[in-house]
Amino acid sequence: MSLWESLSDDIGHLIIEKLPEVVEHIRFGAVCKRWYSIAREYHKLEKGNKRRPLPMLLTPPNTITGTKLNLYALSCRGNHYRNLTLPLPYAYRYCGSRNGWLATPNPDCSVTLEYPFGGKVSYIHLLVLDVRLHHCFYPEFTIHKLILSPDSNQDDYTVVVIYDGQIKIATIKSREESWFLIKPAHEDRNLGTSYSDIIFHKGLVYAVNSRHGIVAFDVSIPPPRVIRLLSNLERPISFDSYNFYLVESSNMDLLLVERHREEEQNRDRPIKLTLRFKVYKLRTDGLSRKITGKIEVGSLNDDALFIGDNMSFSFPVASFPGCEPDHIYFSDDFYYGDYFEPDGADDIGSFNMVKKSIEKHYKLKSTHKHMPPATWIFPPFPIYD
């Protein structure tokens, strides 16, 4: 018996416990049959605990002619891991991600969900979003953001989208034959209201608009039932320079994140770079769940937040190297002009809530200039039979 095969279960499980990245779990199990058995047993034991994988940044190819996605690991700054299963071509913008699923809009205004992990690519083909849009000349930008319900899978899912210039919200569930338009969002278009973010939270869907107002609605039974249209909360005077996100903390609190940008001239086009963030805990009435106000917080209580084009989410990072608590990790979700083509990513980094400073963890490449920006994903842990 080789030294590799003499590793005990207990020691092996301790080693795996210290591995933050999904890729490292896969590599551990590939060493030999004994280590594969240890990894298999570990993940069976941890399945009930629902340990979450560390988020990774899905980035464009390293070269102009490249076609393979790259995975950037926060715990190994400066390093990329190639997708170990079937890579997808990075020829378009992903408008949402959840539990390994990636969403892409199509020219006919339908939507495809792709799951590139687990040995093969799985697909969910959603119906045409809105026949009134006819043909999507720039499908990459038809959908501002797409989210999936927690624990979605190929047979059971709920999808909610912000689309059509961020003025409409629609939803569809598995086995439904059409999308449902959320009426309050549709009526708000006459007020010049656009929506920044949406999130599933405690059985409802919440959406925040550009005027700091929040809509809540129930999508459990079609058509979606509006619970309340919340009044606009106090907002910044120059809210054109702000973007808003909704995040659920590890403690199940609903957070409103305010991102302040400043425009800078860069060569032939302006860009907006992040200056700071403010985070508010939203106060809710225990019975009605109505949001009654907000309280600014100075700490994330050992959480890190991840925001951008993807679904906004939190992660408890106290025990993971490279990913630091009280940090907001952000990707670029600002587009200039008429949304005719991807602009690349100018604004990727993290905000230190304690020091109130911007930190850089990802080095931008010149080849990414006309490629869609990077997006945060949760690559799933390997599945063992």
Q: What is the pLDDT of residue 238?
A: 53
Among 124-133, 162-171, 227-236, 274-283, the least confident range: 227-236
User: Which alpha helices (DSSP H) does the chain contain, by range?
Assistant: 9-17, 22-29, 33-46, 183-187
Q: 52-377: what CATH class?
A: mainly beta
Which is it for strands 101-105 and 375-377: parallel, antiparallel or unpaired? unpaired
Which is it for strands 254-266 and 269-284: parallel, antiparallel or unpaired? antiparallel
- Read off the pLDDT band of 37 (50, 70, 90): very high
Q: What is the pLDDT of residue 85?
A: 40
**Percent of the chain beyond pLDDT 70?**
73
pLDDT digits (tens, 9 = 90+) for 294-319: 899 999 998 999 998 778 889 888 76
For residues 137-150, give the mean pLDDT: 81
Q: What is the pLDDT of residue 184?
A: 64
* Model confidence, pTM: 0.85
- The identity of residue 120, as a single letter, is K
pLDDT digits (tens, 9 = 90+) for 112-139: 998 887 667 888 999 988 877 766 666 6
**pLDDT over threshold 90, residue 322:** no
Compute the C-alpha angle 278/282/284, nearest 5°.
Answer: 175
pLDDT digits (tens, 9 = 90+) for 153-192: 889 999 999 988 778 899 999 999 899 988 765 555 556 5
Q: What is the pLDDT of residue 269?
A: 62
For residues 338-354, give the mean pLDDT: 71
**pLDDT over threshold 50, residue 339:** no
**pLDDT over threshold 90, residue 270:** no
Contacts of 23 (CB under 8 A, 6+ apart): 71, 73, 81, 84, 379
Measured between alpha carbons, how far is residue 166 from residues 10, 74, 290 in Å? Answer: 51, 31, 24
**pLDDT over threshold 50, residue 84:** no
Q: What is the pLDDT of residue 71?
A: 76
Residue 337: left if φ>0, alpha if ψ -120 to 50, beta else—which one? left
Partners of 316 in the β-ladder:
303
For residues 250-266, give the mean pLDDT: 85
Partners of 293 in the β-ladder:
283
- Read off the pLDDT band of 48 (50, 70, 90): very low
For residues 83-105, give the mean pLDDT: 69
Compute the C-alpha angle 267/273/279, nearest 5°.
Answer: 175
For residues 257-281, give the mean pLDDT: 80
Short-list 336, 338, 328, CA closest to 361:
328
Q: What is the pLDDT of residue 66?
A: 61
Alpha carbons 184 and 337: distance in angstroms, whole number: 28
Q: Which helix (H) or strand (E) element contains residue 19? A: none
**pLDDT over threshold 80, residue 266:** no
- Read off the pLDDT band of 86 (50, 70, 90): very low
- Give the side-chain half-sphere CA count within 13 A for 10: 0
| Positions of CATH 2.120.10 in the chain | 52-377
* Cis omega (within 30 of 0) for bond into 223: yes
**pLDDT over threshold 80, residue 63:** no
- Read off the pLDDT band of 256 (50, 70, 90): very high
User: Which alpha helices (DSSP H) does 18-136 contain, by range?
Assistant: 22-29, 33-46
Q: In the predicted model, what is the mean pLDDT of the chain?
A: 79
- Read off the pLDDT band of 81 (50, 70, 90): low
Q: What is the pLDDT of residue 79?
A: 57
Q: 239: helix, coil or strand?
A: helix
